[in-house]
Amino acid sequence: MASTSRQDKPSVSNEEEDRTRLCDEFAAVAGTDSAVAQCYLAENEWQMERALNSFFEADLEKVFEEDFPDTDSSPPKTKKQKVEEKPPADCIDLTGDSPAARKPSDEDDNKLSLISWNVDGLDTDNLAERARGLCSFLVLYTPDVVFLQELIPPYVQYLKKRAVSYLIIEGGEDGYFTGMMLKKSRVKFLESEIVTYPTTQMMRNLLVAQASFKGQKLCLMTSHFESCRGHAEERMKQLRVTMQRMREAPDDVTVLFGGDTNLRDTEVAKVGLPSTVCDVWERLGKQEHCRYTWDTKANSNKTVPYVSRCRFDRVYFRPASKDGVPRLAPDHMALVGLEKLDCGRYTSDHWGIYCSFSSG
């Protein structure tokens, strides 16, 4: 009879197993070891979101003090202030057009280009140099649209001072979050919103912006889906929300999504993509050199005792279908960030994705 009563509550071994799993997941998201994870989780009653919030409230401003020691001088923004309209007065633009830059052809000028990149702001080692590395790629590729994941507040402040030719839209304020950058001279921003994922435990959401390019209406989306193998169900829920938003956009609008999805192909197969939406990598022929965006075999930023090669970062595209509306189509994809910086590390532990779209 005694053994029957114990079945009503988890055994000690099951509780230990659950807490070990939580520690592993916390460590993977926050880039810490299990001891730090256990400390924050225990202090927050083993609630993942509370523990992550507590961890990300740590003062990270010192990371960029060398570049701008007055980062903390302005008051925090309210929830509605997500768009940076004017650059700080003491900015130095690292992304402006170089006088020696090649004048684009008419064909290039009519192409829409984007970069999607998890910049790993949670890893504070060499972060200022790695942020400068991101700006150098913005100069090299001059993307019209940039989707970023794993931003932290000081990283955003850095970009506001050093990427003045871009309008910055933030998908959050605290901890870590996503963001977009729109080339002011090429893309007209209209409005943005943050779509919450009701059951996320990792502070994830969908950032959506309405914009226009060469008179074409755009709906731009970025997200960082739930991490870790054990959160497949939540990740698939987030994919469903995203696909629904893409499918339901007006037919005179071109929809682009880019982000760190953490998706496995089996998960995408279970959810399914709408017939109107394509995976850009697949559409362009599944080129092998663009397959793996998370590749510990080639990228040494993270020291792990195993080789992991995954296509976590993805770009989805839904063209406008209304008669008489210009149609964009994907025509090129490449991985960026493959070169080490002077510090001996890469811009991020993820490779970035560069894509371009031409009018058909």
Closest CA to 315 of 214, 220, 249: 220
260 in active site:
yes
Q: What is the pLDDT of residues 258-267, one digit of tens each?
A: 999 999 999 9
Domains 13-58 and 86-359 share a fold: no
Neighbours of 322 (CB within 10 A): 11
Please check the confidence at residue 141 and state whether its pLDDT lies above 80.
yes
What class has domain 86-359?
Answer: alpha beta
pTM (two decimals): 0.84
Cβ(357)–Cβ(144) below 8 Å: no
Nearest to 257 by CA among 203, 195, 200, 214: 195
Is 330's pLDDT higher than 50?
yes
Least confident of 52-56, 141-145, 270-274, 353-357: 52-56
Over residues 232-256, the pLDDT tens digits come to: 999 999 999 999 999 999 999 999 9
Sorted by where each begins, the domain ranges of the chain are 13-58, 86-359
Neighbour tally for 181: CB within 10 Å = 25
H helix runs in the chain, sequence order: 2-6, 12-30, 34-43, 48-56, 106-109, 127-141, 153-162, 232-248, 265-271, 280-283
As beta bridge partners, residue 353 has 116, 335
Order of strands across the sheet that contains 83-84: 83-84, 166-170, 177-183, 145-151, 112-118, 352-359, 328-336
Gap between the Cα atoms of 23 and 16, Å rounded: 10
Q: Which residue among the candidates 67, 120, 125, 260 is catalytic per the annotation?
A: 260
The predicted-structure confidence for 314-328, as pLDDT tens digits, reads as follows 999 999 999 999 999
d(CA 68, CA 183): 23
| Residue 96: predicted pLDDT | 64
Surface-to-core class of residue 305, CB atoms within 10 Å of its CB (0-12 exposed, 13-18 middle, 19+ buried):
exposed
pLDDT at 71: 42
Query: What count of Cα atoms within 13 Å lies in the side-chain half-sphere of residue 169?
Result: 26
pLDDT at residue 290 tops 60: yes
The yes or no reply on domain 13-58 and CATH 1.10.8 is yes
Q: What is the pLDDT of residue 32?
A: 80
